[in-house]
Amino acid sequence: MGLYKKFVSQTRKPEGILGKMMVNGMNGGHAQMADWGMSHLKNIVPEEIVDIGCGGGRNAGELLKKYPGSKVTAIDYSEVSVEKAAAYNAETIKSGRCTVQQGDVSALTLPEEKYDLATAFETIYFWPGLEKCFAQVAKVLKPGGIFMIVNESDGTDEASLKFEKIIEGMKCHTPEEIESALKSAGFSKAKSDHHPDKPWITVVAKK
């Protein structure tokens, strides 16, 4: 495997030195897209939030700012990501508002029906079976809880489909595919929005 392929493959599960380099770039590289996604969260005041596939931890930090009365649990299955996210959110961890831990979305060990809001930024490409993983998210959400997915790819853009061929286990999904999997996993409503100028998508679902 060439160095470039090794590096971009770190988006799936950052490990070692290359993984640390990748995670360091995630917070800034995805900030504009993540903020656009968060602008879709309206008319909710969540107390308990879970950010799944938290990467470098920047988005967990922004959720804590957006909802000053909330607590955020940030999880990732990469040790490198957990370490970076914990360092990024050190102050709010110290104050008791943030928890960062290792976890696997296909087998969540979080308390059931605890969270008002679950978020997944730029991560579901690597989830092993959307319906199965979405059902795990539904399990930890309260009745009426919200699940927001934000992706850089709408499942049809050439750049992302090129990465799909390079990165093992990566799958780009269309909004229709995501909405269908959400409904099959037990969500009552799912609505998507496409950025007017970019292939970014946000899908908001209600349990």
Give the list of residues 6+ apart from residue 152 with CB closer than 8 angstroms, or none: 30, 33, 122, 160, 198, 199, 200
**Looking at residue 7, what is its pLDDT?**
44
For 68-98, the pLDDT digits (tens) are: 999 999 999 988 899 999 999 999 999 999 9
**Looking at residue 165, what is its pLDDT?**
80
Q: Parallel, antiparallel, or unpaired for β 141-151 and 115-121?
A: parallel
| pLDDT band (50, 70, 90) for residue 176 | very high
> How much of the chain, in percent, has pLDDT values that exceed 90?
74
**Looking at residue 11, what is its pLDDT?**
47
The CA-to-CA distance between both ends of the chain, in Å, stands at 42
**Looking at residue 162, what is its pLDDT?**
81
Average pLDDT estimate for 187-197: 96
**Looking at residue 167, what is its pLDDT?**
74
Angle CA 194–197–202, to nearest 5: 25
Q: List the helix and strand counts (H, then E) for the chain.
A: 9, 7
Of 13, 37, 16, 39, the residue nearest 26 (C-alpha): 13
Question: Is 19 in contact with 8 (CB distance < 8 Å)?
Answer: no
Question: 3-206 has which fold?
Answer: Rossmann fold (3.40.50)
Torsion angle of C-alpha atoms 77, 81, 82, 83, degrees rounded to 10: 140
- C-alpha 29: how far from chain center: 14
For 13-65, the pLDDT digits (tens) are: 544 544 445 455 566 667 899 999 999 999 999 999 999 999 999 999 999 99
Q: What is the mean pLDDT of the chain?
A: 88
Average pLDDT estimate for 189-194: 96
Average pLDDT estimate for 131-136: 98
> How much of the chain, in percent, has pLDDT values that exceed 70?
86
Tokens, residue 52? 């799944």
**Looking at residue 60, what is its pLDDT?**
97
Distance, CA of 42 to CA of 28 (rounded, Å): 24
DSSP string, 160-175: HHHHHHHSTT-----H
| pLDDT band (50, 70, 90) for residue 6 | very low
Identify the sign of the CA torsion 21, 23, 27, 32.
Answer: positive
